[in-house]
Amino acid sequence: MTGAAPLRPVRVLSATGMLGTGFLEASLERGIEMGALAIGCDAGSSDPGPYFLGSGKLSRAAKANKRDLELIVRAGRRAEIPVAVGSAINAGADAQLAEAIRLVHEIVAEHGLSLQLAVIHSELSREWLLAANREGRVRAMPGVPDLDEDTILGTAHLVAQMGPEPYGAAFDAGADVVLAGRSSDAAIFAALAMRLGVAAGQAWHAGKVLECGAAAAVQRLHPDCILASYDDEAFTVELPNSNMACSALSVRAHGYYENADPFHIHEPGGMIDTTASRYEELPGGRVRVSGSRFVPADRYEIRVEGSRLAGYRSIAFAGVSDPILLDDLDNFLATCQEQILAKCRESLSIEHGRDYRFIVRRYGSPAGVQEPGETHKIGLLFEVVAIEQALARAAAAVAVHTALHHPVRGWQGLVSNLAIPFSPAVFDGGPVYEWSVNHLVAIDDPIAPFRVVGPRQVTGEFIDAAW
């Protein structure tokens, strides 16, 4: 780089912490004005639980996702800068990625855009993981049991978090917009920065700050954009929205969020080491971070997530305020549960443990006086998870009806115990999933597990099979 004219400062814009949660259009525009050379956005997370990977459904409405995606894609085209959206959408399963591709087709058609789209799949076959397991390339994340073949075979959907390499390949091949399945959050932004010549340590640590959008602010008023500027030794973050600001503490503390170890953050292919990172406040609510390192691992490992069907759920919720019942609540619930299990066996021929599980969660304290504004003194949430939806519904109905008239020690005569807020009392929750895989898999090629489709021009209607 010696002897060359100074290049434009390298800047990467993060649109928001989670696609679909919104950002101010003015903040995105300001970030572009400030010289963003790329726009990234994280569109997924495992935080909302195993349901989304298991079912392939979306947690945020298509409309909300589209609003954000439309602004990002249009801004990228106007400024002629690359756009990367990762973990699109939610869990990054193929069915959810297809939704993101469909939205881009709509956006292109509605606004007459011209763009080269590349799509990167992150969904893996069970056979892929079985082979990795047999070859001894799999190890469990902390707190997770080791993998066995039955667990793999019983998993509904598997995805792996990709690193920056598949993004790099897609952009190198001429993509304007990359929609990727499950990704390391930071990798989305590390990929954009490293393509612009930024060193790995800064690119990765900045990625970790950028991926949550304005969450690194002292006080995040609402989801919003954040911009990173990179020089030879450091990166500087700032919020395009001047109503919010970062501090050295807020940026440092943001690195603690959702990480067990704030100094060593494991990523595909290595680890972000922040032990020597220094956080310096600059005027204008900006923070300059230097000293961050990326330490490549001996073996490139990717984190694989999997979710399996655990049954079907039905619930009912009711309030209780009867002080005589509440004086004896533990005994009431214990004896009531015995009746429920017996009735399910008699009337439905189902066994607790084998065919269904029944759980009661209590909310509120039975002791003390009911306060104004409390709907009822305590809440009881009845839950049944069963091998079939119809059985779950039937067992939940048995639970409600049994509890409704279960005798109360201290009252003589037929009682009715539950303040049920709705008709019907029982709600079907549909299929229930559990995390079955949360393991690291050693691979030789960082791109091979992730099928890159395109880049190609987006025209006409979205055809799933074409992507």
Partner 1 sequence: MRLGDIARLVRSKNAGPFILTIDVMVADGATFDRVVGSGALDPEKIAEIYGVDPGTIVSFVLREALTIKVSFPRDVPSGSLGDSDVYGCQYMWRLAGVDIDDARSA
The footprint of partner 1 (CB under 8 A) covers 46-51, 141-144, 249, 252-253, 256-263, 310-311, 357, 359, 361, 385, 432-435, 438
Upper half-sphere CA count for residue 150 (Cβ side, 13 Å):
0
Return the amino acid letter for 159: V
Whichever of 50 and 201 has its CB closer to partner 1, that residue is: 50
* Eight-state DSSP code of residue 445: -
Whichever of 334 and 448 has its CB closer to partner 1, that residue is: 334
Q: Are strands 378-386 and 300-320 parallel, antiparallel or unpaired?
A: antiparallel
The nearest distance, CB 104 to partner 1, in angstroms, is: 29
Residue 71: count of CB within 10 angstroms of its CB: 20
Whichever of 310 and 391 has its CB closer to partner 1, that residue is: 310
Whichever of 42 and 176 has its CB closer to partner 1, that residue is: 42
CA angle 134, 138, 140 (to 5 degrees): 135
The nearest distance, CB 297 to partner 1, in angstroms, is: 18
C-alpha to C-alpha distances, 332 to 214, 260, 326, 347, 404, nearest whole angstrom: 49, 41, 9, 22, 11
**Position of tokens 């001429």?**
174
CA-based nearest residue to 454, from 39, 41, 118: 118
**Position of tokens 């020597």?**
276
The nearest distance, CB 135 to partner 1, in angstroms, is: 24
The nearest distance, CB 255 to partner 1, in angstroms, is: 9
3-state secondary structure of 118: strand
The nearest distance, CB 43 to partner 1, in angstroms, is: 18
Strand locations in 121-231, DSSP E? 123-124, 138-140, 155-160, 177-180, 226-230
Q: How far apart are CA 177 and CA 83, in angstroms?
A: 5
The nearest distance, CB 197 to partner 1, in angstroms, is: 31
67 Cβ neighbours under 8 A, 6+ residues apart: 20, 22
Whichever of 285 and 306 has its CB closer to partner 1, that residue is: 306
DSSP sequence for 239-266: -SSTT----HHHHHHHTTTT-S-SSEEE
Largest CA distance in the chain: 95
The nearest distance, CB 169 to partner 1, in angstroms, is: 27
Helices and strands of the chain, counted as H and E runs: 13, 20
CA-based nearest residue to 208, from 160, 273, 152: 273
Whichever of 46 and 292 has its CB closer to partner 1, that residue is: 46
Q: How far apart are CA 119 and CA 132, in angstroms?
A: 25
The nearest distance, CB 145 to partner 1, in angstroms, is: 10
Whichever of 11 and 252 has its CB closer to partner 1, that residue is: 252
Whichever of 51 and 332 has its CB closer to partner 1, that residue is: 51
Whichever of 67 and 357 has its CB closer to partner 1, that residue is: 357
The nearest distance, CB 253 to partner 1, in angstroms, is: 6
Whichever of 294 and 356 has its CB closer to partner 1, that residue is: 356
The nearest distance, CB 440 to partner 1, in angstroms, is: 12
**Position of tokens 């999933």?**
433
3-state secondary structure of 450: coil
The nearest distance, CB 229 to partner 1, in angstroms, is: 23
Whichever of 87 and 229 has its CB closer to partner 1, that residue is: 87
Q: How far apart are CA 56 and CA 201, in angstroms?
A: 34
Q: How far apart are CA 248 and CA 234, in angstroms?
A: 14
